[in-house]
Structure 1
Amino acid sequence: MCDAVAEATRRGALVVAAAGNNGGTRPVYPAACPDAVSVASVSLSESAVPMHAYYSDQYAQVALSAPGGNPYTTYNGGKFNGQPMPDEILSTGWNYTDNLPSYALEAGTSQAAPQVAALAALLLSKGVAATPAAALARMTQTASDLGAAGRDALFGAGLINPAAALGAAAVGSGVGLSVQDALGRSYAPALDALGRFDAYLPDGTFRVVAGLDSNGNGFAGETGEPRSERSVSFGPALTSLNVGTLAPTTTP
C-alpha cells in the first residue's frame, strides 16, 4: 500500500487517508504511510471547543484533524432541517433497499478525511497553493493547535482551519477562551462581562488560550487571530491558581 501511495504522490496526487477508528495507538495503513496525509477526528460533544474523538487512533504519523463527530451524542447545538442535529457528519451513502445513492449521518475518521481533501482542492483551485505539497503545507501552517503545544499524536498539526488557509476576510471579533489538556480534552469556561472566568479542573497540565474569534467560527485564538496563552499545572501541592491577565496579541 505504501508503494502505491508513494507512486500516486510521485505522479502529483495528495493522498489523504483516515487515521482509523480503533481508539488505539497502533499505526493504521495506508494512513501511516510516509507519503500519506493521516487525518484524525475531533468531536464537538460536551464542549464548545473541538476535542479528540474517543475512537480516533493516535500515532506519530497523524498529520491533521477534522470534524468526525461522536455517534453517542445526540445534540451538539447544531440543527438540520430545523431539528437538533446529532454530532455527526452528513455523508454520501447507499440505500440498499431502493438500490439508490442516499445521504446518512455518520461518524468516524472516514468522515474527517474528506474534509482535508476538500480543503486541499479549494486551495489548489483558488490558486492559494500551486502544488499538492504546497496545499498540505498551507493546511499545516494554518491549523488550529489543540491539546499539547505543537504537533502531537492526537491531532497532528491541529484542526484544519479553512478560513485561515484560504485567507478569508474576518467576519467577527468575539472574545473566547479554552482550556486544553494533552489528552485532547477541552473546556470552555464562560466569561463574565469583564472577561473573567472560573474553571474547575482535575489534576494535570493545561493550556489556557484566550483570543478573538475573528472569523466567527466559534473557536477563538486560532492561527492569524489575536491570542494569549498560558500553561498551568495542578496537583496535590497546587490546588488553585490565578492565571492573571491574558491580553490577546496578533499572531502571524
Structure 2
Amino acid sequence: MRSVFGASIVCALVIWTSGASVARASTVDGPRILVTFAADATTTERAAAAASVGGVIASTISPISVARIVAAPGRDAQGAIDAIARMPGVRFAERDAPVRLSFVPDDRLYLTDPYTGLGQWGLRTTHVDRAWDLVRGSPTVIVATVDTGVDPAHPDLVGSVLAPVNGLTTVSTGCQLGALDDNSHGTHVAGVIAAGVKTPAGVSGVAFGVKVLSIKALDCTGAGVVSDVAAAIVYAADHGARIVNVSLGTSDDSLTLRNAVKYAQDRGALIVAAAGNCGLGGPHCDFVNEIDYPAAYPGVLAVAATTTGDTHAMFSTQGAYVGVAAPGDRIVSTTPSYPTYQSARGQTTNYGVLSGTSQAAPLVSGLAALILSKDPSLTAAQLVQRIEATADDLGAPGFDTSFGAGRVNALRAISAPGGVYGAVYDTGKVPTMLAIGATAMITVKVTNTSSFAWQPNGQVRLAYHWIDASGAAAVWDGMRTAFPVAVPINGSLDLPTTVIAPREPGRYLLRFDVVTEGVTWFSATGVPSGDAMVSVSNGLGASYAIAPVPPEFKVGRPIPLAVTVTNTGTVPWSASGTQPVRLSYHWLAPNG
C-alpha cells in the first residue's frame, strides 16, 4: 500500500525523543517501525524488542507510549514488524508510513500568475470580510500548523508566528533539518490563517491577530513520515494550541497517528485536516477518492475544496468523512522571501498561488480561530457544530460527500446566536392568494441550521403568523406543525403545514417561524423568519383572453365570440347548483 504525508517547514525549536521533544535525523538506514508498548512493559522488554530486529529505539512519543525503532539495514520491513509484534510487552507494531502534502503543486498556469486577477476570492465567498466587522483574531488563540515550516520573517507574518519548531527526524536527499520552510507550502498555509497586511502588496489571513505555532514535520520536497506528524500533533496539544491544522495526509490508517489525534482531542484541541486530493486519482493516489488520514478519524474536521464558481473542485476527494468545504482553488497567500524547493520549480517568492484541500483546510482553521476569538469558552465539538450548522448547503440537499455540511460561511458562523438555534425557510410554494378564512395545505422547505438535530414529533415545530399592512399581528401563532421525521444538522425537509387565512380581506405577510415549545421562538434568538406576501380576498378571480373581434356588428344580430376564461381565484366554479358561474358581458356607451 502507498502512503505519503506532506506539510510545511519551520525554524528554531525541535521536537521528538523523550516526551516528543528533540528531533534528530537517524543515522541508521534500516526500516523504521512504530511500536506501542504495554503500559507495564519493562525497560528490558523494550530493549529486547529493538534487539529482535538488530535495531535501536531512536526516539519516543511518551504521551502516547510510542517508540520508533530503527531496524538493522537490510531487514525486511514487514518481517521486522512481525518479529517485534511477537515480543513480550508489545501491544502493536506498524511501519512508520510516509505522508504527503495535500496541494496541487504543478499547475503551471496558476504558478505563473500569483494573483490570477481574482485576489483573495475565498475571503469574499465565505464572507470573512464581513465577519471582520464583528470580530478580529485574538492573540490568546494559538493555531498550530503541522506542515513544511514557515518563513517567520515574512513581512505579513512578523509578529503572528511563535518560535517555529522543527519536528523532522528524516529528510530527503538535498533537504536540510531545521524549522525554516524550504518548500513554500507551510508559509502559504500560515498566511491563509493569520497573515496581517503590513505591506501595500500584502494579503490578509482569515484570523489575523491570532498566533501561529509552526511545527515542521515535512521536508523540502513535502515528504514525511507518520511518526514526525504524530509527534508534532502531540507537541501542539502540549503547547497550548486550540486548533491544529494538518494540510497533509496518508492512506495508512496508523494507530500511532490515530492515538496522537485522540491525545490532542482529549486536551481540547480541534484537528482540522485536508480531505485529500484524490478526486481524480493521480500519481499519489492508489484509486479515486482514496481515504486520507488523519482527515477520516473521528472528531477531525475534514475539509474539501471548492472553486471560484462555488462548485466542488474536481481534485478534491469525496467521502463520508468530509465535514465541510472551503475555497481551495487558486488561493493567494504568503510564500517564503528566499529560494525554496518549490520556487526552483516555478513557484513565486513572497506571494504565490496554490490549489488543493491543503488551502481549504487553513481557511476553516482560521474561521475556527475567529469563532474562538469571540467565544473562547467553546469546546472543539461545539466549534465543529457551529461551523457545520452555519455552512451554506451546496450540492445535494443536506449532507453530501462532496461538500459535507456545505461551504463554510464566516459571517453566519460568527453572528450565529450561540450557535444553538437556526433555520432557513424556502417559501417558494406559498400561494399568492387565499380566500377569506380558507384552510390551505402549504409546503414549506425548512433547513435545520441549528447546532442540534430536530427529533420527530418533538418540541421543535413550525408555526406561522399573519401580519397586516400596518405591521400588527392579525393572527399570532397559528397552527403548529410537528416534523414527522428527524431533521439532522443542515438537513432539509419539505413540510406540509395547515394554514388558516385571516377573516378580513387585504394584503398580509405570512410569517413562518420555528419554535421549541416551552423554550423559545427561533426568531427571538435572532434567526430570520420565512416571509411571503399573500392577498386574502373572497376567493374570486378571473382572467380573459378574447379572440379577434369583428370591426362592426349588425344591430340586433348575435355574433359568436371565442373567450378563454381562467379561474385565478381560490374558489372553484360550479356549472350547476344554486350558484352556477356564468360568463356575461356589458356594452359601454362611448362616454363610458
Q: Same fold (TM over 0.5)?
A: yes
Match of 2:334 among 87, 92, 96: 92
What is the deviation of 1:27? Answer: 1.2
Match of 1:15 among 259, 271, 286: 271
User: Partners in 1 of 2:448 and 2:335 — Cα distance?
Assistant: 33
User: Partners in 2 of 1:146 and 1:251 — Cα distance?
Assistant: 21
User: Where do residues 1-252 of structure 1 align in structure 2 (5 Å cutoff)?
Assistant: 1-23=257-279, 24-45=288-309, 50-69=310-329, 88-97=330-339, 102-127=350-375, 130-167=378-415, 250=528
User: Partners in 1 of 2:355 and 2:295 — Cα distance?
Assistant: 18
SS of the equivalent of 1:104 reads: strand
RMSD: 3.4
List 4+ stretches of structure 1 deviating above 3 A. Answer: 98-101, 221-224, 247-252
Distance of aligned partners of 1:44 and 1:12 in 2 relative to their CA distance in 1, 3 Å threshold? same
> Larger Cα Rg: Structure 1 or Structure 2?
2
User: Partners in 1 of 2:394 and 2:327 — Cα distance?
Assistant: 13
What is the deviation of 1:109? Answer: 0.5
What is the deviation of 1:93? Answer: 2.3
Distance of aligned partners of 1:163 and 1:140 in 2 relative to their CA distance in 1, 3 Å threshold? same
What is the deviation of 1:92? Answer: 2.8
Distance of aligned partners of 1:119 and 1:16 in 2 relative to their CA distance in 1, 3 Å threshold? same
User: Partners in 1 of 2:318 and 2:326 — Cα distance?
Assistant: 14
What is the deviation of 1:128? Answer: 7.2
SS of the equivalent of 1:154 reads: coil
Distance of aligned partners of 1:230 and 1:251 in 2 relative to their CA distance in 1, 3 Å threshold? same
User: Partners in 2 of 1:91 and 1:248 — Cα distance?
Assistant: 44
TM-score by length of 2: 0.25
Corresponding residue number in structure 2 for 1:196: none
Structure 1 residues 81-137: Cα deviation after superposition (integer angstroms, max 9, x where no partner): xxxxxxx11123235538997221111101100011111111111017622221111
Q: Which amino acid in structure 1 is aligned with residue 271 of structure 2?
A: V
SS of the equivalent of 1:94 reads: coil
User: Partners in 1 of 2:321 and 2:511 — Cα distance?
Assistant: 32
Query: CA contact under 8 A between 1:91 and 1:111: conserved in structure 2?
Result: no
Q: Which amino acid in structure 2 is aligned with residue 92 of structure 1?
A: T
User: Partners in 2 of 1:166 and 1:120 — Cα distance?
Assistant: 9
User: Partners in 2 of 1:223 and 1:9 — Cα distance?
Assistant: 25
Distance of aligned partners of 1:97 and 1:60 in 2 relative to their CA distance in 1, 3 Å threshold? same
SS of the equivalent of 2:351 reads: strand
Corresponding residue number in structure 2 for 1:171: none
Query: CA contact under 8 A between 1:63 and 1:156: conserved in structure 2?
Result: yes
Tell me the number of residue pairs that the alignment of Structure 1 and Structure 2 aligns: 162
Distance of aligned partners of 1:159 and 1:3 in 2 relative to their CA distance in 1, 3 Å threshold? same
User: Partners in 1 of 2:511 and 2:325 — Cα distance?
Assistant: 25
Q: Which amino acid in structure 1 is aligned with residue 307 of structure 2?
A: S
Distance of aligned partners of 1:130 and 1:230 in 2 relative to their CA distance in 1, 3 Å threshold? closer
Query: CA contact under 8 A between 1:38 and 1:64: conserved in structure 2?
Result: yes
Query: CA contact under 8 A between 2:299 and 2:381: conserved in structure 1?
Result: no
User: Partners in 2 of 1:160 and 1:129 — Cα distance?
Assistant: 21
Query: CA contact under 8 A between 1:145 and 1:222: conserved in structure 2?
Result: no
